[in-house]
Structure 1
Amino acid sequence: MNFAEIAIRKRVVTLVFTFLFVGGGIAAFQGMSRLEDPEFTIKDALVVTPYPGASAAEVEEEVTDRIEIAIQELGQLKRIESKSDRGLSNITVTIQDKYKREALPQVWDELRRKVGDVQSRLPPGAGPSLVIDDFGDVFGVFVAVYGPEYSYAEIKKFTDLLRKELLLVQDVAKIQPFGERAESIYIELSRDRMAQLGVSAGQIADELRKKNLVADSGRVKVGEEFIALFPSGVVNSVEDFGQILITHVTSEKFEGSEGQIYLKDVGVVRRGYVEPQTEILRYDGNVAIGLGISTVSGGNVVTMGEALRKRVDELTQQWPLGIEVGLISVQSTAVTAAIQAFSSSLLQAVAIVIVVLLVFMGVRSGFLIGGILLITIIGSFVFLQPMGVALERISLGALIIALGMLVDNAIVIVDGVLVRLEKGQNAKDASIAVVAQSAMPLLGATVVAILAFAAIGTSDDATGEFCRSLFQVVLVSLSFSWLTAVTITPVLCVMFLKPSSQSGGEAADPYDSAFYRRYKGLLVRCIAQRWVTVAAVGGIFAASIFGFGFVDQSFFPPSTRPQFLVDLWMPQGTHIDDTTAQIAAMEEYLEQQDGVTHVSSIIGTGAPRFLLTYKPEKSNTAYGLLLVDVENAELIDGLAKNLEDWMADHVLEGMGYTYKFELGPGSNGKIRARFNGPDPAVLRRIASETQAIMHADPTAKAIRTDWRQRVKVIRPIIAEQQANLNGIQRTDITRTLEEGFQGARVGVFRDGDLLLPITMRATEAQRNDVSSIRNLQIWSPAVRAMIPFRQVISDFEVDFEDEIVWRRNRKRTITIFADPAVGQATSLFSRLRPQIEAIELPPGYALEWGGEYEDTNNAQAGIAASLPLFLLMMVLVTITLFNSLRQPLVIWLCVPLALIGVTAGLLLTGQPFGFMATLGFLSLIGMLIKNAVVLIDEINVQLAAGKPPFTAIIDSGASRLRPVSMAAATTALGMIPLLFDAFFAAMAVTIIAGLIFATILTMVVLPVFYAIVFRVPSE
């Protein structure tokens, strides 16, 4: 079946369908989702279990370990990581890569059942466990509501209103507040007054629980009615608490209240905010409340962002002056800017390709192929939109990468028609003949080019999912380019291409120009000196292998987002107020720097996940994060360096470091050495040795461990005999300590729809004075009176303990982090690795490498798992095309030689060979094979026409020189806009440099290999 003949005969139908594809493509483009970066599924869930009062070691052994054993029964499990803090177990459950997004809800349900089953085996006081399966939700809009002249309560009022209104905006999924302060009813008791009156904290707690307890009073039948009984006496206001009767006493102890003691007699009741805060948000130095806003699945980020901005503007105009909404991160703005930039790059690339075609193919042919290119690009959207492909960095970049390949098929057809026109054939016969000759070889070459990208399209890990749209775009656009090449292209050739006035019939030789004669002469000499040619190419190839060892390696490049991050780690155990004070000093410094526009600060935890590639830190009062907005990304390096120098002089107690966002999966801590083993002391010793090695390298920064420092613990030593005589148990002592300082929860207060905890504690002066611990009063049931704490405590010890214990796959694991101060992480890693691996480890201890090394290996393993299959398919396609083994052998002998151009390009430009460069190299293989298939097919055609083998090789080279060179030129020059994009630069260099040499391989070295394999003698 000749597609061209059918298309030409049904010209009207062909043109109508072409216009329909163009119109449908434009409509599909308008309806496609828009993102800054592609989405990938975070296959993690958190299992959080409280165990109040337990040390990290107790949490690990009694809670974390038991839950981990239950979770390990999940067949879908990939990895368990746990963090055991004092009083809290945090377990991160990671599911195997092969499970898609749609399967996760069922997996999480099974996880809940496993965790639920183990609850009965947890120690008293532990639990219940909470499974958080929306850990990977992305809040594309993150704003801060603040007002320097307004109280927190007033700011919260406006924040609640804003949240309520914005939930009604189209495509908004949910809104999560951040930095809110919970309220509490505080009962601050005077220890002296309680001792004087003989009132215990237990008595007060019992009365509070009884007074505010909801209990059923039953019902009574009155006539035909059955009426509920509901006595009064419930506490309805803060003032009512003071009137709660605690006990009766004798007049000798207390006068003035007829022997009755009320709560107001021993303490003060007030309504306030929970202290200390667990998370704090500041915006430009002002206390703020944040709102993280996520988009519904399949929603349009840009449309939602514009609607949110409009609604916020409407609401703020109704608010009093001074209430502001600060934009911490607005994905729609970044998406719009990114799509505009990439659309501009795409248009530039299309323009470059068309100009190249006009210069080398002539005006008429150039515009014809340029038109086919536009039809192919626009028509591809008809298929991409239903596939769920969004407009984002990868998909738009894939179009630019594919541009040169998209015109390859059309160039071959048009060039073949032009040659036949010059020989005197009419356009119709020429078009039909060229398509009949080239359709199947072009289809095979197109399939090979697509298969070169298939490994990334089938990789199940996060990196594969992140880059999947690259394969989808190449698959659709290249397939459609072949279809347009064999249908609409011959129709347009018949309509617009005419024989030139110089056409000389069959006798004319279009390859008799000086340029072609010089090329033929070169080819003749290379084939004549075939072994010299092979030796020269082999020497260059060996040099490229050696030179590749000097190419920097990386995973993904840093983002060009005009915002950078600053992590602050104070000594473990630092109060959140002290961490905030240090953050405030850093804010003050940054606000004085030129180029800084805004500074957002988060203290006590990481920020909500406002970017998919951002991984929040877990809760820690010693941790603070700054998000620094700058005028443009070029300022980041200078500002970050100045800030790190300032922190070295002013952050004396802690450690601060800066880093950029990543363009892809990954995080800071690019170098991670993980040691696992049973004994925490041994792990810390090994970690200290590792840190010493890292500190000795001047290019290493941000060196730290995830176990942090050991913290002080005040340990009262109970005098067992005296405690027993006074009827005092350990639980009485722990409760007294809690009530005396931090405060103990003794009930809840109902205020409308709010349930406020009631917290009982000492007065501020007493609870902030640690020396008063000896003078605490504790109730003695034996003597029925308050006695001094020192009567049942023999001594106090100050001890040190691990406040954090990390485990990985149920093994205690300590991780040491480092980042490069300059250059690539791989260079630093190559220096540190042999020294760290030389550390002598006791039996039962092991080292694993994480960070960028692990991420790169995992990503490459995801590709490598399916790459052999697709390479085999590529080989089989070439064998099927030629029904031969020797011709595919000639093609595949050239493939490794593409490394020559790649090595030269990366070394000359200084670009690293990262994950995207790896994809570029795979695509380069597809391009090389595609061009080689076209040349080998032409040799077969020439041989079938009766030419001698040597003449067939020379004439085929001349015949394919223009289309192959044109395809290479359009691809290479079309990639120029990507050279200025941080994400695609290394990939662009790989393809451009590799393709330049691959063209030489195809047009010179491949004919030499052909002559050797087929033993073609020189003439």
Structure 2
Amino acid sequence: KATIDGIKDRLPAIQTALPEGVTLQPFYDQSDLVDQAVATVSKALLEAFVLIVVVLVLFLLNLRAALLVLISVPISIGLALMAMANWGISANLMSLGGLAIAIGMMVDGSVVMMEHIFSHLTRPDADHREQIKEEIAGGSPTPFDAAHDSHGMALRIQEAAKEVGRPVFFAVMIIIIVFTPLFTLEGVEGKLFQPMAISIVLAMLASLVVALVVVPALATYLFKRGVKERESPIMRPLAALYRWSLGAALKQRWLVVGTALALFGGALALVPLLGTEFVPELEEGTMNIRVTLAPSSSLQTSLDVAQKLERQLMTFPEVLYVSSRIGRAEIGGDPEPVSNVEIFVGLKPVHEWVSAPDRKALQVLMEKKMSLHPGLLFSFSQPIATRVDELLSGVKAQLAIKLFGADLDMLAKKGSEIEAMVKTVQGTRGVAMEQIEGEAQLVIRPDRDVLARYGIPVAQVMDLVSDAIGGVSAGQVINGNERYDIYVRLAKPYRDNVEAIRSLILQAPNGAWVKLGDVAHVAIESGPPQIRRDDVQRRVVIQANVEGRDMGGLVAELQQRIDNDIDLPPGYTVVFGGQFENQQRAQARLMIVVPLSLGLIFLLLYFAFNSVGQAALIMINVPLALIGGIVALYISGQYLSVPGSIGFIALFGVAVLNGVVMVNAINQRLTGGNDAHTAIFEGALSRLRPVLMTASIAALGLIPMLLASGVGSEVQRPLATVVVGGLASSTLLTLFVLPVLYGVFSRGKMEQ
């Protein structure tokens, strides 16, 4: 964005130096896309903040307590943005998206801390109630109000903070650790998602400081006069329902465990039905149409065709502008033959469209209208997507099927067979094999025997052709600051046809004059426009875009069809590239790193509770969270992508946090002298509010992103879907499965 703004600032100065009548007019401006994407995420952040305010007020019914928790959001985001600015990380779709994901988790530590302080100030332990009533409050029926506790309010807040300080620290550190796999991603996926990981980690570190230091400190000021608890209208029925259902669950332990296992098994059965892809396609608001003509097409033909296509595209009411670019081999960054035409199509906002409901339907209509011109191949994409695809595999399409081999003719033959087969597979669009034959070329083959008779070296023949047709540098013309190279070559009538070139004269060493046609074969032949190689091997690429189907399932079917239907000679192999290659690399890396991070979380839990059993008990939340995430993806019809995988990573952190809070509460009651059943029952009941608050805040913080429809929302939606769905299942099951299994996993703790 800064680069584009800088260019725009310089345009007026450049304009003044141009001749009269020449104007500079941008035809594609990415800054609009950047502004819209940032606006989408910023709107989601603001809406999430409002939802969090509503949830906190409803659960706590205390504005001071809600304000204390909410302070963590602006402080955490502010500190994260300061650190990002210091390290040169821009506020883009992914980095701001990270903050939108983290906004619900930022308040988790503060919620647990505030809720515990709130509980201490409204419901101190009953063992000392009578003693305090008589000795401190002089027989008052309300011995814990501020009037009778002028000296102990800060101390009580300090004690409350100490009790949950350790679990809050470990819980937030677990959320931070759970995002470390994102730092190991490579290639395009690393560039995409590492800014997100950085912003999340910075925000969570800031929120940890706020929860452990700022919230208790400010609580001593805001609660000087004590706090009176008001029972939330939401919590009253929920607490009553939970008390009854928890009692029933503790009596039917194996039914609860069996139900959880059955749900987990059912969710795993849905995984093969999900489908996979790299990243959902970002709607850029601009279309990029690649038109391929016959290799022998001239520049004038391409210009004429481009103008006709532009006129046809402008008939669509959705189109704002159309701009064509003809291929030119001399452009270093984007070399193309003149037979390739790239058309940029600016589009109105989708809600103003009348011809089609979405871009894919509009592409079908456009292709139908442009297909009136025979012999043209069309490939539809978007400008940024095209460039990214080209960087991935050298092909301007989502999927590149690379056929490697030694012989060009065999590559062309087998490539055509694969192309025809791919076109029959459902879900492919814009299938085309790159052109490796059909370009008219002037070929001059020296006759070495005849040249030897005359004593003429082959190099002399090549120099004659090069100098006569290509030209020889003969200095420069200098005009002020301008320099123009001078090239000398034969006049056009003497080099514009085969007969004229055959008539070029060579002088033999013995003084004889010989025509080029007497010592070489000169003819126009059909040949390859270019020969491409990967890893020093010749290859041909069949490109395709994916539509209405997941990438992973499509590639699996194509691989099977190629193995069964295409008879490849020895030495010829097929490799799938493009976005599929990135998807495979990212998934392979996450399959290694995510288990390692879960192992590190287990280690942290062991250090927090000094119990292998309790660490394992809390880790049960991970499969419980998977249930809702998988089901949510399946119901919404979304594919398992890299953003979806990151959603599962975020989900694990929040789910484990709830487990930490629950187990810590039960442990405290055991340590306080309660028997095991009472400790489990009362501990679980006491944590109902913080567990529901942290889960609902984390889920509601992502609801705006889940429902957003602006630019960039497509990339974030799978992540939000997974987290919201997973939190629903993990919270519900955590409240029952953990208390039910506590006795099984905590025998050592109970004996202590």
Output the TM-score relative to the length of structure 1: 0.64
Higher relative contact order (CA 8 A, sep 6+): 2
Q: Which residue of 1 aligns with 2:718?
A: 986
Q: 1:975 to 1:684 in 2, by over 3 A?
A: same
- Where 2:346 maps in the other structure, the secondary structure is strand
Write the mapping of 1:307-322 to structure 2, written as runs, cut at 5 A.
307-313=6-12, 316=15, 322=21
Deviation at 1:417, TM superposition (A): 1.9
Aligned-partner residue type, residue 468 of structure 1: Q
State the percentage of identical aligned residues. Answer: 23
Verify: 1:918 aligned to 2:645, yes or no: yes
Verify the 8 A CA contact 2:59 2:235 in the aligned structure 1.
no
Deviation at 1:745, TM superposition (A): 2.4
**2:159 aligns with one of 433, 441, 449:** 433
Q: Which residue of 2 aligns with 1:449?
A: 175
Q: Which residue of 2 aligns with 1:646?
A: 369
Deviation string, structure 1 residues 285-306 (Cα, Å, up to 9, x no partner): xxxxxxxxxxxxxxxx43x544
Q: Which residue of 2 aligns with 1:95?
A: none
Ranges in structure 1 where 5+ consecutive residues have no aligned partner:
1-300, 610-615
Q: 1:927 to 1:841 in 2, by over 3 A?
A: same
Verify the 8 A CA contact 1:726 1:781 in the aligned structure 2.
yes
Aligned-partner residue type, residue 624 of structure 1: V
Write the mapping of 1:82-481 to structure 2, written as runs, cut at 5 A.
301-302=1-2, 305-313=4-12, 316=15, 322-364=21-63, 365-423=65-123, 425=144, 427-481=153-207
Verify the 8 A CA contact 1:902 1:990 in the aligned structure 2.
yes
Deviation string, structure 1 residues 296-335 (Cα, Å, up to 9, x no partner): xxxxx43x54454344346647877643221134444443
Q: 1 CA distance for matches of 2:237 and 2:455? A: 112
- Where 1:628 maps in the other structure, the secondary structure is strand
Q: Which residue of 2 aligns with 1:842?
A: 569
Q: Which residue of 1 aligns with 2:317?
A: 594
Deviation at 1:466, TM superposition (A): 2.6
**1:941 aligns with one of 643, 651, 668:** 668
Verify: 1:811 aligned to 2:511, yes or no: no
Q: Which residue of 1 aligns with 2:247?
A: 524
Q: Which residue of 1 aligns with 2:345?
A: 628
Q: For the aligned residues, what is the CA RMSD?
A: 3.2
**1:901 aligns with one of 624, 628, 632:** 628
Verify the 8 A CA contact 1:555 1:852 in the aligned structure 2.
yes
Q: 1:633 to 1:769 in 2, by over 3 A?
A: farther
Deviation at 1:872, TM superposition (A): 2.0
- Where 1:984 maps in the other structure, the secondary structure is helix
Deviation string, structure 1 residues 134-158 (Cα, Å, up to 9, x no partner): xxxxxxxxxxxxxxxxxxxxxxxxx
Deviation string, structure 1 residues 34-63 (Cα, Å, up to 9, x no partner): xxxxxxxxxxxxxxxxxxxxxxxxxxxxxx
**1:760 aligns with one of 473, 482, 489:** 489
Deviation at 1:986, TM superposition (A): 0.7
Deviation at 1:386, TM superposition (A): 2.4
Deviation at 1:381, TM superposition (A): 3.0
**1:826 aligns with one of 552, 556, 567:** 552
Q: Which residue of 1 aligns with 2:419?
A: 691
Deviation string, structure 1 residues 817-867 (Cα, Å, up to 9, x no partner): 211244443343233221013334333333322122211111233434543
Aligned-partner residue type, residue 217 of structure 2: V
Q: 1 CA distance for matches of 2:602 and 2:714? A: 34
Verify the 8 A CA contact 1:706 1:815 in the aligned structure 2.
yes
Q: Which residue of 1 aligns with 2:379?
A: 657
Deviation at 1:389, TM superposition (A): 2.6
Verify the 8 A CA contact 2:412 2:436 in the aligned structure 1.
no
Query: Matched residue pairs, number?
Result: 700
Q: Which residue of 2 aligns with 1:191?
A: none
Aligned-partner residue type, residue 1001 of structure 1: L
Deviation at 1:769, TM superposition (A): 4.2
Verify the 8 A CA contact 2:646 2:719 in the aligned structure 1.
yes
Deviation string, structure 1 residues 408-465 (Cα, Å, up to 9, x no partner): 1111121112222222546423321221100111111111111110111233433223
Q: 2 CA distance for matches of 1:315 and 1:661? A: 26
Verify the 8 A CA contact 1:463 1:665 in the aligned structure 2.
no
Verify the 8 A CA contact 1:748 1:757 in the aligned structure 2.
yes
Verify the 8 A CA contact 2:461 2:506 in the aligned structure 1.
no
Deviation at 1:556, TM superposition (A): 1.4
Verify: 1:870 aligned to 2:597, yes or no: yes
Output the TM-score relative to the length of structure 2: 0.85
After superposing the two structures, state which structure 1 stretch, 959-968 or 896-905, moved more.
896-905
Aligned-partner residue type, residue 51 of structure 2: I
Q: 1:687 to 1:661 in 2, by over 3 A?
A: same
Verify the 8 A CA contact 1:726 1:780 in the aligned structure 2.
no
- Which has the greater radius of gyration? 1
- Where 2:341 maps in the other structure, the secondary structure is strand
**1:749 aligns with one of 473, 476, 486:** 476
Write the mapping of 1:883-902 to structure 2, written as runs, cut at 5 A.
883-902=610-629
Aligned-partner residue type, residue 355 of structure 1: V
Aligned-partner residue type, residue 308 of structure 2: A
Q: 1:466 to 1:698 in 2, by over 3 A?
A: closer
Q: 1 CA distance for matches of 2:323 and 2:457? A: 48
- Where 2:406 maps in the other structure, the secondary structure is coil
Verify the 8 A CA contact 2:275 2:551 in the aligned structure 1.
no
Deviation at 1:394, TM superposition (A): 1.2
Verify: 1:1000 aligned to 2:735, yes or no: no
Q: 1:637 to 1:538 in 2, by over 3 A?
A: same
Verify: 1:544 aligned to 2:272, yes or no: no
Deviation string, structure 1 residues 679-716 (Cα, Å, up to 9, x no partner): 33333333222112112225322223345325344545
Deviation at 1:387, TM superposition (A): 3.1
- Where 2:505 maps in the other structure, the secondary structure is strand
Write the mapping of 1:48-67 to structure 2, written as runs, cut at 5 A.
none
Q: 1:756 to 1:890 in 2, by over 3 A?
A: same
After superposing the two structures, state which structure 1 stretch, 864-873 or 520-529, moved more.
864-873
By percentage of residues, which structure has more strand? 1
Q: 1 CA distance for matches of 2:342 and 2:717? A: 30
Q: 2 CA distance for matches of 1:309 and 1:798? A: 48
Aligned-partner residue type, residue 418 of structure 1: F
Deviation at 1:926, TM superposition (A): 0.8
**2:432 aligns with one of 704, 711, 726:** 704
Verify the 8 A CA contact 1:675 1:813 in the aligned structure 2.
yes
Q: 1:942 to 1:722 in 2, by over 3 A?
A: closer
Q: Which residue of 2 aligns with 1:682?
A: 410
Aligned-partner residue type, residue 995 of structure 1: L
Verify the 8 A CA contact 1:666 1:852 in the aligned structure 2.
yes
By percentage of residues, which structure has more helix? 2
Aligned-partner residue type, residue 423 of structure 2: H
Ranges in structure 2 where 5+ consecutive residues have no aligned partner:
125-143, 147-152, 354-358, 391-395
Q: Which residue of 1 aligns with 2:134?
A: none
Q: 1:429 to 1:984 in 2, by over 3 A?
A: same
- Where 2:658 maps in the other structure, the secondary structure is helix
Q: 2 CA distance for matches of 1:509 and 1:824? A: 46
Deviation at 1:963, TM superposition (A): 0.9
Q: 2 CA distance for matches of 1:933 and 1:875? A: 11
Deviation at 1:739, TM superposition (A): 6.0
Deviation at 1:895, TM superposition (A): 1.0
Deviation string, structure 1 residues 568-594 (Cα, Å, up to 9, x no partner): 222334334433332222222223322
